[in-house]
Amino acid sequence: MMRARRWIFAALFLLAWIGVVIWAAAPAYRDFRDFWADQELCAGTGPDVDAQIAACTRQIGSERWHGHDLAVEHYNRGIARKAKGDLDRAIADYTEAIRLDPEYEYAYFNRGVAWSRKGDLDRAIADYDQAIRLDPQDADPHYGRGVAWSEKGDLDRTIADYDEAIRLDPKHERAYVNRGVAWSNKGDLDRGIADYTEAIRLVPQDADPYSNRGLAWSAKGDLDRAIADYDQAIRLDPKDADPYYNRAIAWDAKRDLDRAIADYDQAIRLNPKDAKAYYNRGVAWSDKGNLDRAIADYSEAILLNPKHASSYYNRGVAWVKKRSLQKALADFETYSQLVPWDPDGPKSAERVKKELSAR
């Protein structure tokens, strides 16, 4: 019995000695509980990204991790930095993770996402290529590369990548939404509508496919279905200006100017920097015969976008109707400078000059 106790004591002593060695190699921590708490925080995706970055930084500096394990700490810090919007530092962490483990597929994928957000689409595509090479069964790199091809305007490659993402993950709702956009941009509205409809079936609470399907219905001339989809998009996300704006265009096409103006009002309230919403509301006010409000909206559109040529032209037309010919002439001349290939600008300016000279 006494001998057994000595062996137990010896084992406990050995464990304690090992613990001393381990924590001597982790000078940033006084207590192993702090170490594991940081490990959990670094690996998490909580709302406090600064705390996560700090925890990962302590883990990296602890000298406890090497090889792939150290790559994971850099990767996790990269995720937190990307969430914070610090893309350059995120890329630096992903790059270090890849240096430590050149087969780290997720690091390539997320570095591709960061490059894409920075607008460096060629680097993004190169990283997605590597991620796909390392794990061809992962749908996300195909989806990410599809987004990059779309931004480069290569719709055929875009659709091919979304096809593959959907084949690998038939429930990848965003791939259906984005493939629908690609089909719509290629003019195949029926395929676009089919993809939006599938996305809605998969995630009925996502406003985007309703909004995009509304655009497709509108392009097909089915304004009632378009409005119904915009209604759903607004119900699901009442703070998104786009469905209000697009529904206003549909109401305008149906010549329901009051409803159109009401929707433009909401779109402008949610996005007061949208020049085209002011412009279109100006057109609606002009159609209703309210020239002063039309001019005010065209002027605001010009203030937001001094190169918005149509606002100058339409404001010029409104000034003519109000018999403010000098102001009309100035607007037609500006329009002619912005759109020199349109003969309507010089013709309108010439007509106003004749009226002025006849006075």
pLDDT tens-digit profile, the chain (359 residues): 222 222 222 222 222 322 333 334 444 555 667 777 777 888 876 778 898 898 888 888 888 889 999 989 999 999 999 999 999 999 999 999 999 999 999 999 999 999 999 999 999 999 999 999 999 999 999 999 999 999 999 999 999 999 999 999 999 999 999 999 999 999 999 999 999 999 999 999 999 999 999 999 999 999 999 999 999 999 999 999 999 999 999 999 999 999 999 999 999 999 999 999 999 999 999 999 999 999 999 999 999 999 999 999 999 999 999 999 999 999 999 999 999 999 999 999 999 999 999 87
Helix ranges (DSSP H) in the chain: 2-24, 32-43, 49-61, 67-84, 87-100, 105-117, 121-134, 139-151, 155-168, 173-185, 189-202, 207-219, 223-236, 241-253, 257-270, 275-287, 291-304, 309-321, 325-338, 344-357
In the structure encoding, which two tokens stand for residue 68, read together?
């792939």
Question: Among 308, 342, 348, which residue's Cα sits nearest to residue 328?
Answer: 348
Between CA 16 and CA 118 the distance in angstroms is 50
Q: What is the pLDDT of residue 22?
A: 37
Going from the C-alpha of 254 to that of each of 202, 213, 263, the distances in angstroms are 32, 18, 14
Q: What is the pLDDT of residue 251?
A: 98
Contact 135, 105 (CB under 8 A): yes
pTM of the model: 0.84
DSSP string, 49-63: HHHHHHHHHHHHHTT
For residue 192, the number of C-alpha atoms closer than 13 Å in the C-beta half-sphere is 24
Q: What is the pLDDT of residue 269?
A: 98
| SS3 at position 249 | helix
CATH dotted code for 17-102: 1.25.40
| CB proximity list for 130: less than 8 A, separation 6 or greater | 105, 108
Domain extent listing, the chain: 17-102
Assign residue 44 a region (left: φ > 0; alpha: ψ between -120 and 50; beta: otherwise). Answer: beta
Q: What is the pLDDT of residue 182?
A: 98
Q: What is the pLDDT of residue 26?
A: 45
Q: What is the pLDDT of residue 1?
A: 29
Contact 302, 319 (CB under 8 A): no
